[in-house]
Amino acid sequence: MSSISVRRIKKSFAALTILHSVDMEIEKGEFVVILGPSGCGKSTLLNVIAGLEECDEGQIVIEGKDVSGLEPSERGLAMVFQSYALFPAMTVRRNLSFGMEIAGTPKATVAEKVAWVAKLLQIEALLDRKPGQLSGGQRQRVAIGRALVRSSSICLFDEPLSNLDAKLRAETRVELKQLHETLGSTMIYVTHDQIEAMTMADRVAVMHKGKVEQFAHPQSVYEKPASLFVAGFVGSPAMNFLEGNLDGLGRFVTGDVSIDTSAYAFEGPPLAREAVLGVRCENISIVERGTPQTIPAMLAFTELLGADALAWFDCLGKRFSVRLGVEAARSMRKEVGLRFDMAKASLFSVASERRL
pLDDT in tens, the chain (356 residues): 689 999 999 999 999 999 999 999 999 999 999 999 999 999 999 999 999 999 999 999 999 999 999 999 899 898 888 777 889 999 999 999 988 888 888 999 989 989 988 888 888 999 999 999 998 888 888 888 888 887 778 999 998 888 778 887 888 888 888 888 888 899 999 999 999 999 999 999 999 999 999 999 999 999 999 999 999 999 999 999 999 999 988 899 998 889 999 999 999 888 899 999 999 999 999 999 988 888 999 999 999 999 999 999 999 899 999 999 999 989 989 999 999 999 999 999 999 999 99
Is the domain covering 239-349 a CATH 2.40.50.140 domain?
yes
The pLDDT of residue 1: 62
Closest C-alpha to 199, from 215, 222, 182, 183:
222
The one-letter code for the residue type at 307 is A
Residues of each domain in the chain carrying CATH 2.40.50.140:
239-349
As separate numbers, helices (DSSP H) first and strands (DSSP E) second, the chain gives 9, 20
The pLDDT of residue 165: 80
The CATH label, of 3.40.50.300, 3.40.140.10, 3.40.50.1820, 1.20.1340.10, for the domain at 4-232 is: 3.40.50.300
What pTM was computed for the model?
0.90
Question: Cα 34 to the chain's mean position, in Å?
Answer: 6
Cα angle at 137 between 134 and 138, to 5 degrees? 40
Closest C-alpha to 177, from 144, 223, 226:
144
Please tell me the distance from the alpha carbon of residue 177 to that of residue 78, in angstroms, as a whole number: 17
Residues of each domain in the chain carrying CATH 3.40.50.300:
4-232
Kindly give the pairing relationship between strand 4-13 and strand 16-26. antiparallel
Q: Count the neighbouring beta carbons within 10 Å of the beta carbon of residue 195.
A: 13
Are 293 and 253 in contact by the 8 Å Cβ rule? The answer is: no
The one-letter code for the residue type at 272 is A
